[in-house]
Structure 1
Amino acid sequence: MTQGYKAETLALHAGWRADPTTGSVAPPIHQTTSYQFQDTGHAARLFALEELGNIYTRIGNPTCDILEQRIAALDGGAAALAVGSGQAASAFAIQNLASSGDNIVSGTDLYGGTFNLFANTLKSMGIETRFVDPADPQAFVNASDERTRAWYVETLPNPKLAVCPMADIAAAGRPMGIPLIVDNTAAPLIARPFDHGAAIIVYSATKYIGGHGTTIGGLIVDGGNFDWEANPQRTSPFCQLESGFGVGARDGDVLGHDLLQFLFQVCQQFGV
């Protein structure tokens, strides 16, 4: 449910209306690791990704799925994934596109933890990060080659808050088959990167979405607006399920409630 609804409605109802068995309006916390299959054929279809469903909470959980559907609906995206932290979101988004020998191009204005992730952690995995001025879209083009798998910027970079020309950067990358990943941690709901050509949005849900300093979490949102199959050489590791970066059911429930409170505050203060 995304068409024709205001943000308040999406935050409250996307991904959940009521439990079909109990009638419960509030989503339950599915505190489980495993799920029962209907039969061996059903299990085989799930593991072959021929059918959607719950397999193991490391891969997905019904409580977290509600949070994922709501953030995807609010951003106008196709789907989302809740993970253990904002750093996990950035790392997982890139590792699904790049492997050893590949590179990404990133703006220099970054949260310190992200800079360390790119300059050191990804480097140790064989993924090079080429840093450029985020105010210059042509710099992203000039730094790219046939092994460039993604470009990365922050909507409002921590700590300088210098807004980058997101739409121009995204437009420069599209003809090259390079997706733009945008960290929208500092401006959820207020900024809509998919409207400006971004292919992927990542969040540290710990910050404004969580808002209370109680829960670590991250989110990855696919805009559904990038043709991943057109450039298979750039997306060969795409959609790995084994890493186990997923957020737990209780944290997913807390962040889902925090998202509601944050959204209503933003709507009141900014008239979104």
Structure 2
Amino acid sequence: MNNNTVPVYNLNDGHILPQIALGTYQIRGMQGVDQILAAIQTGYRLIDTSTNYDSEGAVGEAIRRSGIPRSSFYVTSKLPGQYHHREDALKMIEETLLRLRLDYLDLYLIHWPLPKRDNYVEAWTALIEAQKRGLIRSIGVSNFEAAHLDRIIEATGVTPAVNQNEIHPYWIQNSLLQANKDRGIVTEAWSPLGRGIGELKEPIILELAEKYHKNAGQIILRWHLQRGVLPVPKAGSLQHQRDNLALWNFELTADEVIAISSLTKVDGRVDNQDPNTYEEFN
């Protein structure tokens, strides 16, 4: 699919994001540059990285090698937990831009709230300041629950543009999706295919793949889109990159969306990472 035909989501700050991103977790080094460059040539323009992924350098290099204007891209990175204090966060944002060799980020997220440490409100004030300085266009969060969202909104008067959360058929997060929507926040999904093991083999997914002449991954990604979610799948191979952009020429029925959602599990998280207790540090 040509990038110009990928639909966009409108953010609450007036900016836009394409409806699918390239995830770069475990995509790094020169091989990573080649993989990201191939994705760019396939049509991706929203690229998701993080300081914790060690892929920021590869993302920046691939963008430069592409020959495509910087203004055509939407680059996301994320703040590590060890830099939640205001001045540390501001310096880390500058460091991220140095690693990417870019003048600004299109989207920057607090990676985890880490409520036990309770510095995420301070981190949010740093993102607001960096946005005012022109270092970031849109600011958001990742792995925030509704209570975390309300706390930063009430403390600063600034609502995140995006909340990136773990969402996949085994962990559908209905209440959090509604909480984000109620606050005018676009939801992104990390690990949108789960870990690519169980969900891709579920009978309902395989049945729909056969019906629509798609693969199982495409069915799940389409399910995300029809729930208003922006999926961030990692795709290293060219074939997977192409498949993940071929999502807008078919549509699931409402009953099929519900059937996929019924796969959700009480313990469906891929690594049991509860944002209320998870500690990002090793």
Give the TM-score normalised by the residue count of structure 2: 0.35
Write 1 or 2 for the structure with the bigger share of helix: 2
Higher RCO (CA < 8 A, seq sep 6+): 1
